[in-house]
Amino acid sequence: MSGLINALNIGKSSLLDGQRAIEVVGNNISNVNTEGYSRQVPVFTDFPTLNMNGFMVGRGSKIDVLDREYNNFLAKMMQEKSSALGEEDAKSTPLDEMERIISISENGLSGSIDNFFGSWQDLTGDPGSRVNRDLVLQSGERLAQDFQATVSELAKLSESMNTMLQSRVDDLNLSINEVASLNLRISTIESTGQPALADRDKRDLLLQKITSLVGGTNTENAAGMASIFLPNGLPLVSDATVMPVLTERVGDTLQISLDLGSHKYELNTERVGGEMRGLMYLRDEFIPEKVADLDKLANGIITEVNALHRAGTGLDGITGRDFFAPLGEEAGAAAMIRMNLGNYREVAAGDSNAPGDNTNALRLSALGTARVMDGSETFVGYYARIAGDVGVEASRNKLALAGNRDALTQVANLRDNTVGVSLEEEMISLIKFQKSFEASAKYLSTVDEVMSQLLAIRG
């Protein structure tokens, strides 16, 4: 009789295992569209055999634990590609805006430079004309305004990146705090022997998001807690402890630092990756380089035009006047360029004040095509190189962005094929567990019939 009771227990455990396995399959199917969900699988083990009158008798099976499909290599690849994509994606919109600001067009700074020296060329035809002299003054004023407008728009772009960086820092702090909370929860649950599958999926998504924001790496200890490190090794999360990222306005710049308690480390492009590195690179390196180039161009125009203009004479007979307000240094020249003349009679078109003298206007007109910038480029050519640098970086960004997006998509597809939910596979598993459940039920029915017949015989 004890053998039949053991048979009943085997049938019961098999029936319950089949039911639970079907529930796991149903959960997988319901999460087929859940981002970051890893397919869960029941892990079956057999009960220890039992010695019954010298015979080793099996006692059925049980679902020992629920596991999830996981590939550490693909997870790291997803994070690495997310960091690279985040950096290029963050650069994309600002670079498009820079292309608009620094462009080769008739209505931009390039056109203003051409028009300025063109107005001197027009003046050579009738140096005594008040209209032509006023056009020289107006084109000079327009040139100064376009320089100022260009650097002003670049400053506004830098400020917008301060705002974007603040948003990324806020998002980062929320994410690392959530990872620390999940670390504690996962460790607590798994210390009881139960798996924290959903929490691990959620943490993996956060780790990918964090690497997209700031780059870096992560490790996991024996207790299941993840630690996150910046690209240079500084810690963001250590088990359940968070090192917050702080922001502070220093002049026109949003300064970002990592608070380690005893010390604060300023974060720059050498210490971060992802979106924050992309934004920092443009704000702290690329845009300042272009502003410095514009300062050099503005200073070159001011210096060369003033030198020739001082040598000429206005209609009022006065010589030695600067056309633009002289500056003491190159830095800031594009923002500070101003007209020094206010009257058409002050325009020094000739070497004398004779209305028909155009000798100085000829020299100033020729300056427009002279290779005075670094001894090899004209003013327009130098500006074209600045615009070209922006265009090249924008084109490189577009190619890199498309490449990284494709790479991440490929890794994500590989991840989905490897550890994600496949409806076809789940249907096969469902049929298998359904048949197992039906067989277990039939087995219990058979054992019940045998017991009933045995009891009838004894009766």
Structural domain including 449 reads 2-69+423-458
Residue 77 and residue 115 in contact, taking contact as beta carbons nearer than 8 Å: no
Query: What pLDDT is recorded for position 53?
Result: 63
Domains in the chain, number: 2
Residue 416 within a domain: no
Specify whether 7 is located in the same domain as 112.
Answer: no
Residue 245 within a domain: yes
pLDDT of 4 > 70? The answer is: no
Specify whether 372 is located in the same domain as 448.
Answer: no
Specify whether 128 is located in the same domain as 155.
Answer: yes
Query: What pLDDT is recorded for position 387?
Result: 95
Residue 294 within a domain: yes
Q: What's the full length of the chain, in residues?
A: 459
Residue 23 within a domain: yes
Going by pLDDT thresholds of 50, 70 and 90, the confidence category of residue 6 is low
What does the pLDDT average to over 62-75?
82
Residue 280 within a domain: yes
What proportion of the chain, given as a percentage, has pLDDT over 70? 93
Specify whether 333 is located in the same domain as 356.
Answer: yes
Specify whether 113 is located in the same domain as 36.
Answer: no
CB atoms within 10 A of CB 217: 17
Residue 182 within a domain: yes
What proportion of the chain, given as a percentage, has pLDDT over 90? 63
Specify whether 91 is located in the same domain as 188.
Answer: yes
The DSSP H or E segment spanning 372 is none
pLDDT of 29 > 60? The answer is: yes
pLDDT digits (tens, 9 = 90+) for 408-429: 999 988 988 888 888 888 888 8
Specify whether 311 is located in the same domain as 448.
Answer: no
pLDDT digits (tens, 9 = 90+) for 326-357: 998 899 999 999 999 989 999 999 999 998 99
Going by pLDDT thresholds of 50, 70 and 90, the confidence category of residue 52 is low
Specify whether 165 is located in the same domain as 39.
Answer: no
Residue 211 within a domain: yes
Specify whether 123 is located in the same domain as 256.
Answer: yes
Higher pLDDT, 158 or 21: 158
Specify whether 353 is located in the same domain as 427.
Answer: no
Specify whether 402 is located in the same domain as 429.
Answer: no
Residue 413 within a domain: no
pLDDT of 269 > 60? The answer is: yes
DSSP code string of 207-276? HHHHHHHH--EEEE-TTS-EEEE-TTS-EEEETTEE--EEEEEETTEEEEEEE-SS-EEE--TTT--HHH
Specify whether 57 is located in the same domain as 128.
Answer: no
pLDDT of 57 > 70? The answer is: no
pLDDT of 56 > 60? The answer is: no
